[in-house]
Structure 1
């Protein structure tokens, strides 16, 4: 019994000592003794529903989930901002927080910190997964900050909604807006696809911020029937789908860069098309009509080259390359 009491006394003494140490560390930190809600209250007593931009609606987002221990407080993103909280002024205005986000001056006239510094504040938490290739990526190198695309305080972030995401991307990539509205295009304009289905805007090991290592691997995520392997492979299709297709849109179906037979003749100038590019039909067109007792060349009517070569992405037909099986 005496030994049990002795150990109980030692245990209580150790716990009391640990409590005193942690309390002393909390006093050393300007906000270490405050809960997350209390730290936020320091800011929200001024920044309330009267702000021009929504502030309190952050509590309707994952960044404001009170029950999650990972949820940051205002100071975790904006800095401790002691000069701002103490009311110090300069030129008649209160000094700004340590970190001001955005691309333009705030309504209070504060200058945002650099795009790199803004992204670094976000990457403290959001560093792994899809963001692991952010350093050195095209967006990072061109001073695109997280806040250039994401809206943190709003309950809904448009860039994370499939139907609204393209409008965020088109703020910079305006030429792509025109392309997706052409006759032949992926269903981005109707909200069935989003830019992030093919691209990872946070960086990629592949070209053009693609989610996969190559263009073809990205296309094959949906177009698996074009992957092969085939007995007769079409080299341009094996190398890069964009040799023939414009993935963002074209006025020639299906997403082709130019019409057959002209598209095919960029590479194929062999017996089928010699000595004139498309046989007797072109000679007739150049002369104002077909020559007597001749018919249009199969290479230029109907589906042109694809009248015979149906399996243009590759074929397993024993009859020969790209013929119908």
Structure 2
């Protein structure tokens, strides 16, 4: 009965007390007839849903979304049963996605977060609004941060796997949600990123990586995803590969004084033997395969991988991102 009371108040609002211009063509009487059959017995309580505020002039009625549906309100003569509503939203609905989405966008297209829905990846994939959203309930999973991620996992199973890896953003822990980086209703950026680029989206939290730097690292200024997997990785810092292998995807590995596995020597530094000169000598600067390949590898020396503000022109050479 509670739902019936809420719907009745809702429909009185639509019926003429505060009907907005967008609802001028709504058949209020047809909407009022809906609550005669559809009550708490077959619809869950939606009294706290955003569409259930009778004092808000923008509140829709039944026919706003489902159409007048005269054949559903009253069984046509000779018909074996009542016809379905003009527009339905169930899993087995015959209403096309474009028709269902047009109902939602008739009110929501002017909102800034949804202005780029047309042509977006989800719209192009024929995703309907009701694939993610529920109206006749107080627990719309898409609107709650605690349940939003699990909803996205329903389609994005690869991202579920990535976020289960050891190094990941704290989304499984509930400290972040998909919406913190993505605008699912459309974006000018790649992969529905909230900002116009991947980097600008990352800088929302990682402002210290923005720069500007006197000596920037070009890949870091172009696309953070060149080195990082933003959903998760088996390598620390969500890197796509462990250094130095990651670095060597762009940089030719250098050999210091002939020292190192890349110089044709064994991959482990050995102590000098009689008659064999030490591998580390005056020409190697103390560098060997240990600090080239182990530990943090390249970043043992090149610590400022995002960019350096080193003002020196020599010692150390600033463009090498030593400090």
Question: Residue 148 and residue 30 in structure 1: after superposition, are their counterparts in 2 closer, same or farther (change >3 A)?
Answer: closer
| Residue 283 (1) aligns with residue 276 (2) | no
Structure 1 segments unaligned to the other structure (5+ residues): 1-28, 106-110
Match of 2:16 in 1: none
Match of 1:236 in 2: 219
Among 86, 95, 109, the residue aligned to 1:113: 95
Q: SS of the residue aligned with 2:238?
A: coil
1:68-101 Cα distance to aligned partner (Å, 9 max, x none): 1110110011001111112127873310111001
CA distance in 2, matches of 1:221, 1:43: 47
Q: Which moved more, 1:157-166 or 1:314-323?
A: 314-323
Per the TM alignment, residue 48 of structure 1 is displaced from its structure 2 partner at its CA by 1.2
Question: Residue 156 and residue 90 in structure 1: after superposition, are their counterparts in 2 closer, same or farther (change >3 A)?
Answer: farther
| Residue 245 (1) aligns with residue 243 (2) | no
Match of 1:210 in 2: 193
Match of 1:24 in 2: none
CA distance in 1, matches of 2:188, 2:78: 46
CA distance in 1, matches of 2:78, 2:142: 37
Structure 1 contact 133–202 (Cα < 8 Å) conserved: yes
CA distance in 1, matches of 2:246, 2:78: 66
Question: Residue 189 and residue 77 in structure 1: after superposition, are their counterparts in 2 closer, same or farther (change >3 A)?
Answer: same
Runs of 4+ off more than 4 Å: 29-32, 272-278, 289-292
TM score, norm. by length of structure 1: 0.80
Per the TM alignment, residue 112 of structure 1 is displaced from its structure 2 partner at its CA by 3.5
Aligned pair count? 280
CA distance in 2, matches of 1:274, 1:115: 66
Among 316, 319, 322, the residue aligned to 1:321: 319
Question: Residue 40 and residue 277 in structure 1: after superposition, are their counterparts in 2 closer, same or farther (change >3 A)?
Answer: farther
Among 205, 216, 219, the residue aligned to 1:222: 205
**Greater Rg by CA:** 1
Q: SS of the residue aligned with 2:291?
A: coil
Among 56, 62, 71, the residue aligned to 2:50: 62
TM score, norm. by length of structure 2: 0.80
Q: RMSD of aligned C-alpha atoms?
A: 2.4
Question: Residue 274 and residue 262 in structure 1: after superposition, are their counterparts in 2 closer, same or farther (change >3 A)?
Answer: farther
1:15-72 Cα distance to aligned partner (Å, 9 max, x none): xxxxxxxxxxxxxx9966x5xxx65431011011221x52xx2332121111111101
| Residue 49 (1) aligns with residue 32 (2) | no
Structure 2 segments unaligned to the other structure (5+ residues): 1-23, 273-278, 280-287
Q: SS of the residue aligned with 1:124?
A: helix
1:148-173 Cα distance to aligned partner (Å, 9 max, x none): 01111111211111121111111100
1:244-280 Cα distance to aligned partner (Å, 9 max, x none): 0000000101000000011011111054479898545
Match of 2:289 in 1: 296
Superposition map of 1:9-88 within 5 A: 34=28, 40-51=31-42, 53-54=43-44, 57-88=45-76
Structure 2 contact 71–85 (Cα < 8 Å) conserved: yes
CA distance in 2, matches of 1:231, 1:298: 27
Match of 2:89 in 1: 101
1:206-243 Cα distance to aligned partner (Å, 9 max, x none): 11111111111111111010011101110111111011
Question: Residue 74 and residue 244 in structure 1: after superposition, are their counterparts in 2 closer, same or farther (change >3 A)?
Answer: same
Match of 2:132 in 1: 149
Per the TM alignment, residue 113 of structure 1 is displaced from its structure 2 partner at its CA by 0.6
CA distance in 2, matches of 1:87, 1:225: 66
